[in-house]
Amino acid sequence: MKIILLGAPGSGKGTLAKKISNDFKIPQISTGDLFRAIVKEDSLLAKKVNQIMKSGALVPDEVTCEIVKERISKPDCNKGFILDGFPRTIAQAKALEKISQIDTVILVELDNDIIIDRLSSRRVCPSCGEIYNSQDNLNNLCKKCSSPLIQRDDDKPETIKYRLEVYGTNTSPLINFYSDRLLKVCSAGSPDETYKPVKSFLEKMEEEIE
């Protein structure tokens, strides 16, 4: 089962990916993780990616595709995989078509207002990394180590709005591109409620593939 996950930051996409990965025994492949892993390697590709990332430029499509191609050819992807963060552009989607046949694209949908609400109430302990909701932690101190909690720049409303705009601009062409195999799911409920229709859909698909 080859799956692409699309969803805005804060939509609950990561949680959904974990549930699918656990139940269907296929790896979750996030391009962010791939980049972080590859720069630690001692290879030509690692050097190339390192240089690009240091310069602050975006990693070009052909390099990203090369990295994804290598990853999905590993034995743990025999049964399939979940791609998260790739493709981001139509050019990448077209390149991916040449590497692998994607079965389904899951689009996690949530209103921007709810996303902004969820993310902007997030507080982080700068010492131990524990994550809190500002409503559950009125004294603004970490329950584990008593450090004052902070709000990450990424979680400030103006930053979130910008990230959502970028997401929308990048994703709408992809939604059209994959319209023949798109499953839309709303994540306004609990993670389990979001997962339920996805699970039954994938179980059916798994039967058909086998």
Instruction: Select the residue interacting with Zn ion from 51, 78, 127, 133 (CB under 5 A).
Output: 127
Instruction: Select the residue interacting with Zn ion from 145, 150, 166, 209 (CB under 5 A).
Output: 145
Nearest approach, Cβ of 9 to Zn ion (angstroms)?
A: 23
> Could you write out the three-class secondary structure of the chain?
CEEEEEECCCCCHHHHHHHHHHHHCCCEEEHHHHHHHHCCCCCHHHHHHHHHHHHCCCCCHHHHHHHHHHHHCCHHHCCCEEEECCCCCHHHHHHHHHHCCCCEEEEEECCHHHHHHHHHCEEECCCCCCEEEHHHCCCCECCCCCCECECCHHHCHHHHHHHHHHHHHHHHHHHHHCHHHEEEEECCCCHHHHHHHHHHHHHHHHHHHC
Site for Zn ion in 146-205 (CB under 5 A): 147
Active site residue 163: yes
| Closer residue to Zn ion, CB minimum distance, 141 or 182 | 141
| Closer residue to Zn ion, CB minimum distance, 104 or 151 | 151
| Closer residue to Zn ion, CB minimum distance, 78 or 146 | 146
Within a 10 A sphere around the Cβ of 30, how many other Cβ atoms? 17
Q: Please pick, among 152, 156, 181, 184, the residue that the annotation labels catalytic.
A: 152
128 binds Zn ion (CB under 5 A): yes
| Closer residue to Zn ion, CB minimum distance, 144 or 152 | 144
Active site residue 122: yes
**Which span sits near Zn ion by CB under 5 A: 59-67, 90-98, 139-147, 177-185?**
139-147
Nearest approach, Cβ of 125 to Zn ion (angstroms)?
A: 3
Q: Per the structure block, which two tokens stand in for 148?
A: 């004052």
Active site residue 152: yes
| Closer residue to Zn ion, CB minimum distance, 116 or 141 | 141
**Which span sits near Zn ion by CB under 5 A: 2-10, 29-37, 48-56, 145-153?**
145-153
Contact 39/52 with Cβ under 8 angstroms? no
Contacts with Zn ion by CB under 5 A lie at 125, 127-128, 130, 142, 144-145, 147
